[in-house]
Amino acid sequence: MDLGRKLEILADAAKYDASCASSGANRRNSMNGKGVGSAGGSGICHSYAPDGRCISLLKILMTNSCMYDCHYCINRRSSNVERARMSPEEVISLTLDFYKRNYIEGLFLSSGIIRDADFTMEMVIRVARELREVHDFRGYIHLKTIPEASQELIEEAGKYADRISINIELPSEKSLRVLAPEKNLHRTQQAMGGIRTKIENAKQEAKEHRQLKIKPTSSFATGQSTQMIVGADDSDDATMLQRSDLLYRGYHLKRVYYSAFSPIPASSSILPSIAPPLIREHRLYQADWLMRFYGFDVSELTPVEGKDTGKLDLDIDPKLAWALRHREAFPIEIHTATREQLLRIPGLGVRNTDRILKARRWSILRLEDLAKLRVNLKKCLPFIITPDHNPIKLGLDSDRLRARFEPAPKQMEFEFMESKSSAVFGEV
Amino acid sequence: MDTLSVRIEPSFDSWRIEARKLLEGSVPPDAVLWTDSSSTQFDLFDSGEPPRKKQEVKISKSYLDLARTVSCHSSPERWGLMYRAAWRMVCNGEKNLLQRPTDSDTRKLLEMAKAIRRDCHKMNAFVRFRKVGEYPHTGREQFVAWFEPSHHIIEYNASFFIKRFTGMDWSILSPEKCIHWDGVKLHTSEGVSKSSAPDEDDLEELWRGYYKSIFNPARLKLKAMQAEMPKKYWKNLPEAELIDELTRHSSNRRDDMIKAESLEPRPAPRNLYLQNLHKNNQDFVVNEPGTIHDKSLDELAELAACCRACPLWEKATQTVFGTGNPEARIMLVGEQPGDEEDIQGKPFVGPAGRLLDEALADAGLDREEMYITNAVKHFKWKPGSANRKRRIHDKANRGEIEACKPWLVAEVMKVQPSVIVTLGNTAAQSLIRKDFRILSERGEVNMGNLIGFPGKIIATIHPSWLLRIRDEAEQQAEFKKFTADLKLCRE
């Protein structure tokens, strides 16, 4: 099989992993090196596929042969896809050749599991080690780790990678047992805990080195992330978000990615064959953002009673949905509100909140000032008070207010596509 | 008022020299007409009187950085805007101008700077090098790219490419200016036309193959794509020629996948590794140790890992069983694992553990010789404040203490220590008496036949309690009392 065909098979096998982030690495460049590569700061998306997803890394598997039988996965052993395997040398030269042409920020390497977890992990690590040590490659490397692999190997992976990840895949033990019989939620979380400890120790060590003004002796990945599949099992949004919250708190993950379960060629008979629930995926990302940057507690994100208990509203964004459930918290006075209160106003983002806090030190803000800050006034108006605006005059009750924001059913897809993809994938 | 016409080279440094002179003379912005030699605008006014020096000019570095960025903008208004803002800060007493995002000059400057940053970002993303040669003896490669930025950024943005592609020779050609890197120094030259750039590279076929395969036809979102990769860049991206075709066929490919016949799961191959995984994943639940004479401590620990006698296992990472010398003379019993213990799976490895180590050392005791465990073996936590993504210790309740007690008793019976030290209320309440109060009853406890344990029991405080004492003197005093309690278990 020629390299081109292998690349197609192994990229096709890797594309259901949503993460393509290349941000947050330790800052470095190739100025005093023998090779190429730089990293640090915000990542770069070198291209975009027509699915709107950024292409930042060469994202491939070493092999798509796999012993596991995860039903949602195109590479499971029961699938009849064409199989291929790349040699470490092939992955290395592809990475370097693509990098030198400025197609990519680096490599995201994963693999189907062959023989056993340690054997597979060693194969993946070898590529990263040679890229770093033989070719002095200083671009970004993201390695997928296998929770069943030994701690020593996971630790070694972290030495060469900027980010390591383990996919949790589904939010509950129960779902995993049905859909991924080889996986285990607690084992995965234990491995995440091990990675957290190493990341923190490395950070502590780097800090001590900085204080003593000596060069760091070793490096370690700066973060870990994971992915959860949306819509392959019957878990509701509250269950997914609670799992995310637990992962952020317990294992200090940088990101949880949500990936709408997508129909795959050679699909499993025990899974729904439907178009991917893209809007639900989008709402989960929004809710995740509210948890991480807007001071929302996970329990506030979904209704706790009624027929929609545990479900995010698909028609309107979760912050607006929360505001409609909590009319008593509004309207909020722009000039006197605390940062926490401002962040609760629908349509007001973190950046604009901070701009408002800065601007109101100099003058009392009127609607035209908010417009200058490019605040989404249409969404904010029913919830804010400024010297020239009081929403009580709008006389809107909750139902009419909701109707104002509800999209006509056919426009839903359209509205979703309009939304900024940077908010969805977050790493521009 | 006379209007002063100032004609500069289109560069930041040239603007800076003129602006400084004008500011020294406090010349108001309305009285200056800025043009640069790249514009064809005709000078309508005669140059007025050159200003006389009136005042010292100090401009903040942050403004100079901002202005340097803005100077790359393609708008001819930028020189005047940059000067007006400088004049307002220096001569008009508006030192904090840049702090006011609602001011229209500030807003315009920030928006222009943002446009430049975006243009640079797109250049970093969409430059595509093509290989043109390689030195046979060193292997050093030569690459050339063609790029058309929206603003005057080619040289301004060169450092990104120097730092990233230090180890190769490269040129970036553009209509306005070209930059060249030879491994040592950056050179610039006049702009050229696209025909000067190479028009192919062997790797592009592979790259297109990758692009095609990484695309998921089941989730077409063209608008999201175009927002980030506008059409104007497509003509210089080798992969862009595929977009039309991929888009046209995507809905068919998706529908084919949805309609395609699904496959039944295949049985697992014979593989020891897989068989072990399946065995471990079986729903193996043990809620108490059962008989213990036939089990080692390690075996008990393995069983306890599957305990679900109370709901705490669900939110915890793992069971934290006791560790240490299985034949210890002294057994320490704490309350429950904390955040770090939960992650590492060992008792007393967090902040309270470090304090315990200090106290043990002061009391002349060796941790290695002891057996250390907790009354409750899963970490019970509640969320910290929403913004700080942390877990906060939460006190175990009566039911949870009781559910875990059989494991603790099993450890006591297995180790058979001569002394048990309970640390904190929870441990004392589990082993001694449900209403035991540490602060009034601490020290050696005389209590007859506790759980069939014949040895000495010492009740003392938990080291994490010491960590919560704010007053340093009080903390030291309590630490001394704590070590005094620990000393009671010396022979």
CB-CB neighbors (< 8 A) of A182 in chain B: 274, 277-278, 281
CB-CB neighbors (< 8 A) of B321 in chain A: none
Last residue in a domain, options A206, A238, A272: A272
CATH label of the domain that carries residue A11: 3.20.20.70
Same domain membership, residue A204 and residue A104: yes
Same domain membership, residue A260 and residue A328: no
A261 domain-assigned: yes
Last residue in a domain, options B175, B196, B217: B196
Task: Please report the residues numbered 395 through 424 in chain B whose beta carbons come closer than 8 angstroms to any beta carbon of chain A.
Answer: none
Tokens at B186, concatenated: 């950056």
Contact B277, A148 (CB under 8 A): yes
Distance CA A264, CA A244 (A): 25
Strand (E) or helix (H) holding A133: helix A117-133
Task: Please report the residues numbered 139 through 158 in chain B whose beta carbons come closer than 8 angstroms to any beta carbon of chain A.
Answer: 141, 143, 145
Same domain membership, residue B435 and residue B363: yes
Contact A157, A164 (CB under 8 A): yes
Cβ pair A45:B228 closer than 8 A: yes
Contact B464, B392 (CB under 8 A): no
Same domain membership, residue B148 and residue B13: no
Same domain membership, residue A371 and residue A243: no
Contact A210, A167 (CB under 8 A): no
pLDDT by residue, tens only, chain A of 428 residues: 999 999 999 999 999 888 888 888 888 999 988 889 999 878 899 999 999 999 999 999 999 999 999 999 999 999 999 999 999 999 999 999 999 999 999 999 999 999 999 999 999 999 999 999 999 999 999 999 998 999 999 999 999 999 999 999 999 999 999 999 999 999 999 999 999 999 999 999 989 988 888 877 778 999 999 999 999 999 999 999 999 999 999 999 999 999 999 888 888 888 877 788 899 999 999 999 999 999 999 999 999 998 999 999 999 999 999 999 998 999 999 999 999 999 999 999 999 999 999 999 988 999 999 998 889 998 999 999 999 999 887 766 767 788 888 876 554 443 333 333 333 333 32
Question: Buried b vs exposed e over B425-438: b needs ≥16 C-beta within 10 Å?
Answer: bbbbbbbbeeebeb
Same domain membership, residue B321 and residue B420: yes
Cβ pair B167:A36 closer than 8 A: yes
Same domain membership, residue A343 and residue A213: no
Is residue B46 over pLDDT 60? no
A298 domain-assigned: no
Last residue in a domain, options B196, B223, B242: B196
Question: Buried b vs exposed e over A291-300: b needs ≥16 C-beta within 10 Å?
Answer: bbebbbebeb
Tokens at A385, concatenated: 């008070």
Cβ pair A186:B318 closer than 8 A: yes
Strand B456-460 and strand B443-445: the pairing is antiparallel
Q: Distance between terminal CA atoms of chain B?
A: 99
Instruction: Choose the closest CB to B222 out of A50, A80, A278.
Output: A50
Contact B171, B187 (CB under 8 A): no
pLDDT at B192: 97
Higher pLDDT, B56 or B332: B332
In angstroms, what separates the C-alpha of B49 from chain A's closest C-alpha? 37
Last residue in a domain, options A272, A300, A333: A272
Determine which of A228-232, B2-6, B86-90, B210-214 has the lowest per-residue pLDDT on average: B2-6
Distance CA A175, CA A266 (A): 21
Question: Buried b vs exposed e over A355-381: b needs ≥16 C-beta within 10 Å?
Answer: bbeebbeeeebbbebbebbebeeebbb
Contact B299, B309 (CB under 8 A): no
Q: Minimal CA–CA distance to A355: which of B106, B198, B78, B439? A: B106
Q: Distance between terminal CA atoms of chain A?
A: 36
**B258-305 pLDDT, tens digit each:** 887 788 888 888 888 998 888 877 767 788 888 888 899 999 999 999
Same domain membership, residue B237 and residue B303: no
Higher pLDDT, A190 or B219: A190
Would an 8 Å CB–CB cutoff place B213 in contact with chain A?
yes
pLDDT at A403: 82
Cβ pair A101:B201 closer than 8 A: yes
Would an 8 Å CB–CB cutoff place B224 in contact with chain A?
yes
Distance CA B416, CA B331 (A): 9
> What CA dihedral angle connects B466, B470, B471 and B473, to 10 degrees?
30
Domain that holds residue B187: 127-196
Same domain membership, residue B377 and residue B394: yes
Same domain membership, residue A351 and residue A229: no
Same domain membership, residue A385 and residue A264: no
Query: Which distant-in-sequence residues (6+ apart) come within 8 Å of A394 by Cβ?
Result: A381, A382
Q: What is the mean pLDDT of residues B115-142?
A: 95
Instruction: Choose the closest CB to B266 out of A77, A97, A274.
Output: A77
Would an 8 Å CB–CB cutoff place A30 in contact with chain B?
yes
Same domain membership, residue B373 and residue B482: yes
The dihedral sign for the CA sequence B290, B296, B299, B301 = positive
Same domain membership, residue A184 and residue A245: yes
Q: How many domains does chain A have?
A: 2
Same domain membership, residue B189 and residue B163: yes
Kindly state the percentage of chain B with pLDDT values over 70. Answer: 95
A212 domain-assigned: yes
Q: Minimal CA–CA distance to B311: which of B397, B375, B390, B383? A: B397
Determine which of A51-55, A158-162, B54-58, B427-431 has the lowest per-residue pLDDT on average: B54-58
Q: Minimal CA–CA distance to B254: which of A227, A382, A139, A276? A: A276
The dihedral sign for the CA sequence B473, B476, B481, B484 = negative
Last residue in a domain, options A239, A272, A305: A272
CB-CB neighbors (< 8 A) of B246 in chain A: 49-50
Distance from the Cα of residue B221 to its chain's centroid: 28
Distance CA B20, CA B32 (A): 13
Supply the DSSP string of A379-393, one letter for each residue.
HHGGGEEBTTB-GGG
CATH label of the domain that carries residue B437: 3.40.470.10
Query: Which distant-in-sequence residues (6+ apart) come within 8 Å of A12 by Cβ?
Result: A74, A81, B213, B214
Domain that holds residue A94: 3-272
Strand (E) or helix (H) holding A332: strand A332-333
Cβ pair A182:B277 closer than 8 A: yes
**B166-186 pLDDT, tens digit each:** 999 999 999 999 999 999 999
Distance CA B392, CA A216 (A): 32
Per-residue CA distances from A229 to A16, A51, A316, B145, B329 (Å): 10, 17, 22, 40, 51
Same domain membership, residue B245 and residue B100: no
Dihedral-angle region of residue B438 (phi above 0 means left; psi in -120 to 50 means alpha; beta otherwise): alpha
**B462-480 pLDDT, tens digit each:** 999 999 999 999 999 999 9
A286 domain-assigned: no
Q: How many domains does chain B have?
A: 4
Same domain membership, residue B153 and residue B247: no
Determine which of A318-322, B353-357, B432-436, B480-484 has the lowest per-residue pLDDT on average: B432-436
| Bridge partner residues of B411 (DSSP) | none
A25 domain-assigned: yes
B357 domain-assigned: yes
Distance CA B363, CA B481 (A): 11
Instruction: Choose the closest CB to B128 out of A48, A79, A102.
Output: A102
Phi and psi at residue B480, in whole multiples of 5°? -65, -45
A334 domain-assigned: yes
Q: What is the mean pLDDT of residues B132-138?
A: 93
Last residue in a domain, options B168, B196, B224: B196
Distance CA A159, CA A125 (A): 10
Same domain membership, residue B305 and residue B173: no
Same domain membership, residue B470 and residue B449: yes
A147 domain-assigned: yes
Same domain membership, residue B159 and residue B27: no
Same domain membership, residue A327 and residue A263: no
Distance CA A125, CA A161 (A): 9
Supply the DSSP string of B149-160, one letter for each residue.
-SSS-TTTTHHH
